[in-house]
Amino acid sequence: MNKDSLLYFAPDEEILPVMSLREVVMFPKAIIPLFVGRKQSVKAIEAALNDFDKRIFLVTQKNPEVEEPSLDDIYEVGCVARVLQMFKLPDGTRKVLFEGIYRAKIDKQSFSKEEFYKSRVFSFPDSDYDEKKAETFIRLVQEALEEFSKLNPKMAKESLLTLANIKDPSFLADGILPHLSNVKFQEKQQVLEIADPLVRLEKVYGYLMGEIEIIALEQKIKERVKKQMEQNQREYYLSEQLKAIHKEMGRDVDPKAELDKLETRVKEKNMPEEAKERAFEEIKKLRITPTNSAEYTVSYNYIDWILSLPWNEIKEINIDLKEAAKILDNDHYGLEKPKERILEYLAVQNLVDKIRGPILCLVGPPGVGKTSLAKSVARAMKREFVRLSLGGVRDEAEIRGHRRTYVGALPGKIIQSLKKVKYNNPVFCLDEVDKMSTDFRGDPSAALLEVLDPEQNYAFNDHYLDLDYDLSNVFFITTANSLHTIPLPLQDRMEIIKLPGYLETEKKKIAKYFLLPKQLKMHGLDKKQIKFSDGAIEKVIREYTREAGVRNLEREIASICRKVAKKIVEDKIEQVQITKVNLSSYLGVPKVRHSEKEEEPLVGVTNGLAWTEMGGEILLVEVTIMPGTGKLEITGKLGEVMQESAKAAFSYVRSRSEVFGLKPDFYKEIDVHIHVPEGATPKDGPSAGITLATSLVSALLNIPVRNDLAMTGEITLRGRVLPIGGLREKLLAAKRSAIEKVIIPLDNVRDLDEVPEEILKGLKLIKVKHMDEVLPEALLGVNKDSIFCGQHNHISLTQKLLKAEFRSSAQQ
């Protein structure tokens, strides 16, 4: 046996220098170069070269971070190796080439430390194995090895040929494992410690297959990246060519550059992820769509709409209640209840981060300032204001938008309006919500149910966008002239705030402090050039306007200002006085005539009180009796409810005929005609019931009705007086007509809290529960005992008619 063969000899035991390795496992028959820098390791190698026939025991550290490992820090099983070469590098480290000889196990008892580690090591031989089974395993491993070499160009052909000729499972396993770079050193150490060659080879085969998969995947990724880079380079080259072509053709717009800008805007836009994803999808479509196609325009417009909306942009607001109250008072006179409710909302807004709702609905006659009040709310809250008029809207798509499949499709008016503002928490005024109508295209009021529901509008879905849009931060204010045309489900979603018409006293102050200064400024006049007397303003209100609001009043003041401006320019006059006397020279003949009380008490004529959208009015009710056959005639363009009130009043009188001193069948010999003057004006409502009954009793008993008294109240067949509405406006009409007494239902006493003191001043209010309390107050010269016992001194009109009929027959 020669000296070289002795190098591979594996004795049962021997004492050798020990060198620990970091993250490297040495295998028999493997040749590995290592850089050695630790002093102990260098000393161990030098000892191996000098005293141990170039043999050294290499063992792996459990923790590679340990600088000076002890016996517990290294594994028990390692590899006896031969030092083939050693080179000293300039930095003091050594580059050493090792060759593995055999597997060995350290003897812990003999482990010692001097200048280097030294220990007795025992050989760790392979166990017996089934050779036939080994052949199968070896064939599988070598096939996989061949595939591995094709995928891994780093593996040398000589190494492959060497491994391909190995028929020993132990040598094959030990030879392959050092070439697998993705196997951790802990896993390699486990393989080193396996005595059974077949088990070891099976483990190595598994690692080899895993390595093949990793390398195959890496190559796929590299190919994909390479293709992508080639594609990007190609696109860049073509886009540069396109730019040059567009430049030559005189076009300034580059479609690709436009799409790049669009994509940047989408990335920078503060909006939900769902909307961003949809926008990116559409941009992706645009890149492959010809710019001159209709589909390109549709997709581009869709992205533009998405980018134009203030999705998550919320304006930070700090509400000062005192300042808000001041703004509301400066913009609007009166309207105390609406202002109070709005200030309550603002106070709650100050206490919580986010409040859902309420949806306010301002209901009142035209010209009382509903829309301008919504603007003032926006100013008070320091929010943006957006207004949408719903008058005449009859298509559901006006609210929800059209789907993009339709030609010329657009979002609904809600989304269109929000495009105009920068922030997603404006005050949104939906004007004339009661003027919507329905036809075959759907019901727009039903589409508003979702918009005006605080529990649903956080995910409002417009058909055009097809994305959930959050409307819960928007403060919605709706306006309407009346409630009866608004569907009940829609009413249920809103908090109704009623704005009554202005009183005359309020109109005077509004005209004096708001309208007149505004019109003077608009017409280039100052206070010194034009003087309005209080009487002139009052006459304009009474005789030239008939409204609940102040729109026409402002129009008449503007007309006066124009005429004054002309006079000042033409005649060089310094000052013009507008008085009650000369007002008609500026405005012409009075346009409005209010009903007035009669100059003296008359039989069958009673002053009633009526509510209209323009305010309160005196309503004269006339009754006349004629010979006839019991016919009841009702004229004056009365509505169904008022006609029914007339019939109920007549039935009450018939039921009390004996008490009034009339024959039980008196109605069979007469005709009764009930008429309400101003026959061209439609009139309806139940509140004229006691007025009709009083006129009937007056006409039948021939007793005049007091002309300084007015009344209002609904009547039942039994004579009970029921409450009515619009008491505030009715009392104002009575005050305006110099009425001294007003009969009202007892149940309406609670409504007097809403009536200003200046109206009640000088009015005597008589509260009644039954018709029997009304007649003694209304009929002249009678009391309760005389009228209900038939002892009154007046000859009833029925008796007169009967006498006249008797005289006529006697003469014949």
Annotated binding-site ranges for ATP = 364-371
Which residues does the annotation place in the binding site? 364-371
How would you list the strands of the sheet with 709-711, edge to edge? 632-635, 670-675, 615-627, 605-612, 709-711, 741-745, 764-768
Tell me how far CA of residue 720 lies from CA of 514, 713, 778, in angstroms. 45, 9, 16
- Which of 554, 544, 546, 567 minimizes the C-alpha distance to 520? 554
Triad 716, 706, 653: Cα angle to 5° = 30
Cis status, amide bond into 153, omega within 30 of 0? no
**What would the two tokens of residue 431 be?**
């004007």
Phi-psi region of 588 (alpha: psi -120 to 50; beta: other; left: phi over 0): left
Catalytic residue among 170, 445, 687, 737: 687
Strand 530-532 to 576-578 pairing: parallel
Structure tokens at 683: 């009139």
What SS3 state is found at 628?
Answer: coil
Compute CA 754 distance to the chain's CA centroid, rounded to the nearest angstrom: 36
Tokens linked to 749 = 């006493």
Dist CA 455 CA 453 (whole Å): 5
Active site residue 730: yes
Nearest Cα residue to 712 out of 726, 697, 694, 691: 691
Phi, psi of 248 (to 5 degrees): -65, -35
Give the whole-angstrom CA distance, residue 528 versus residue 579.
Answer: 15
Q: What does the alpha-carbon distance between residue 436 and residue 391 come to, in Å, rounded to a whole number?
A: 6
Could you tell me how far CA 446 lies from the centroid of its own chain?
Answer: 17
From the candidates 730, 735, 737, 796, give the one annotated as an active-site residue. 730
Report the C-alpha gap between 600 and 707 in whole angstroms.
6
Query: Which strand ranges, in their side-by-side order, compose the sheet holding 495-498?
Result: 385-389, 427-431, 475-480, 360-363, 495-498
Is 687 a residue of the active site?
yes
- The residue type found at 452 is L
In angstroms, the CA 126 to CA 29 distance is 15
Indicate which residues carry an active-site annotation.
687, 730
